[in-house]
Structures are given as C-alpha cells and as structure tokens.
Chains A and B, each alone.
Chain A
Amino acid sequence: MNYSVIVEVALREGIADPEGATIERALPALGFTGVTNVRAGKAFRFEVEAADEAAALEKATAMAERLLSNPVIENATARSAAPG
C-alpha cells in the first residue's frame, strides 16, 4: 500500500538561520507583530510503498537522514500526510 508522507527539514537549534531571521524582521512591517522564533526550512511530500504506516515512516526517516537533510546542521522529521 502507498502511504503519503511529509518530511520536514529545518536547521538544528543553535545553527544560525539567516532566512528565518530575515522573515522575522519583515513580518512587523506587514502588521504581523508578536511572531518570534521563525525558522525557515524545507518540506518534501511523497508516497511510499510499505507494509504499514510505521514501515513507511521508517523508510522516509532513513531517506531524510541519508539524502533529504544534512545531519551536520539539519534535523528531519517524517510524518503521515492525509491522502489526497
């Protein structure tokens, strides 16, 4: 069966995030005050063929660690996405 998965990749805590910082500085100019701790990242959405959801997430996590993220500076989390 195919499982729809989302992998989110973000810079680890403590790693400078110039994109996040720039977005955070821009928001008040548009009237969005009170927004803090903005972190920019990437999201990947795909379908994984697996026996069950746990196996699909395990496979997605392995993909994230091997290719989709650089573990030296980034964290990756895999979660199920609602199909469709």
Chain B
Amino acid sequence: MTRVAIVVFPGSNCEYDAAAAMTQLGATAEFVWHSATDLTEFDGVILPGGFAHGDYLRPGALARFSPVMGAVARFAADGGAVLGICNGFQVLTEAGMLPGALQKNRGLTFLCQPTTLIVESTASVLTRNATKGQELRIPINHFSGAFTCDDATYASLVANDQIVLRYKENPNGSRGDIAGVANPQGNVVGLMPHPERAMSTLLGSVDGRVLLESFLSVPVGAR
C-alpha cells in the first residue's frame, strides 16, 4: 500500500510521528480530519496517539462518535488495514472494533519508558512480516494502558490467535501481559506501544520498522 490516512482528532498529538514513519518507509501519509466521512481512496488507516477530545469521560469515549469513525468501520468491514496506536487503540476498543478495554495503569502512574514486546501472533496486518517469539524494543507513553477483558473474551482471543503482542515484563497490569490485539480477521489492530517512535537508532530503536513495514506490505487488493 502506498497511501495511508492518518486520522486527526481534536487532541491527537502523534500524527506527525506516524506520518514521518510512513514517509520514511516510502508511503504517502495524509492527515484526515475527524469530520471526514469517506476513506475509500486510501490503502490503510492509522488512528494515532494523543488525547482525542481531551480524553474527557474516558479515553476514546467521545472520539468513537466522531463522524470519521463510521468511515473507519466501513473501511475495516471491507477488509482494509486499520491500525490504532495508543489513544487510537483506546478509540477502537470504545468503538467496539476491537475487544476489551484499556483501563488506568496498575499503580496509577503515567508510564513513559522503553518496553520489550514479544510477537505473539503473525496473523495480523501489524505482524505479518515479523516472527513469532521475536522481541521488539518499543516505547510506551500512556496512563490508561492496562488491557482488560472478561474470561470468555480472553479465551476467545487466545483461541482465535488475536493476541498480537505481549509485554515481556508487564509495565501496567495488562491482562495476560497484552500490549496489542487484533480483530478476528486480523485487519484491525490496536497496540499501546508506539512503533512510530522506534524508527531510528538515534532514538534508541528501529524495532518499530518491522511492524509498520508489515502494515504497509498488506496488498491493496486485499479489500
């Protein structure tokens, strides 16, 4: 894919990081304001990090009602690749496009630190080029990142291979050390860590590349 929509909500703040990562990997990134209602011209969609609508009420609670979310849901239903990073992950869970919820971190502290992730499944648009068991050094930057779900949901995530990434050392109390999950089809993925901030040795890691290259390697004809 070559043309990626980066959805910008009032309060998003990682859209430039995401765009820079896409550009670095040879794709074209275009910012799409949250009032947009059509994403059909794009090959992939990213919901970036930040504090959409101020994170008022709950992270993602108001953003899920932004007009663009209808278009994101249609894009995903057509098989398009959708990636939610950090706040984008929270938006996708609030919208019901991904299972579970992101709760306040155990310890009630904002966490901004490198983490080691383990690739748990390669059956997703974010990990298709990675190797199961591969370790990736990618930073987190969040207050509400503890993945939470009930027993039945957790069992279905395991059974359907929807757990994409786990933390090697759980920083935030996430159930099952979960750092990222996919929908059953694998074309919608959300993760709390920021692969777009692990794109340069100067910034400590290039391990975000394999994830974002996976995302960009999804055939456009897939949808």
Question: Is residue A16 within 8 Å, beta carbon to beta carbon, of the partner chain?
Answer: yes
Inter-subunit contact B61/A73 (CB<8 Å): no
Chain B interface mostly helix, strand, loop or mixed? loop
Given contacts A15-B103, A16-B173, A18-B108, contact A70 B149 (CB under 8 A): no
Contacting pair B108 A72 (CB below 8 A): no
A-contact bits for B184-200, CB 8 A (1 contact / 0 none): 00000000000000000
Q: Which of B105-162 contact A (CB under 8 A)?
A: 105-108, 146, 148-150
Within 8 Å of chain B (Cβ to Cβ): is A68?
A: yes
A70 lies within 8 A of B107 (CB): no
Task: Name B23-75 residues within 8 Å CB distance of A.
Answer: 57-58, 61, 65
Interface size on B, residues (CB 8 A): 19
Interface size class of A (residues with CB under 8 A): 10 to 19
Specify which chain A residues have a CB less than 8 angstroms from the CB of B207 in the assembled complex: none
Q: A66 to B148: give the CA distance in the assembly, Å.
A: 19
29 A/B residue pairs, CB under 8 Å, sorted by A: A11-B103, A14-B150, A15-B148, A16-B103, A16-B106, A16-B146, A16-B148, A16-B173, A18-B104, A18-B106, A18-B107, A18-B108, A18-B173, A19-B104, A19-B108, A22-B108, A67-B57, A67-B61, A67-B65, A68-B57, A70-B61, A70-B94, A70-B101, A72-B93, A72-B100, A72-B149, A73-B101, A73-B103, A73-B148
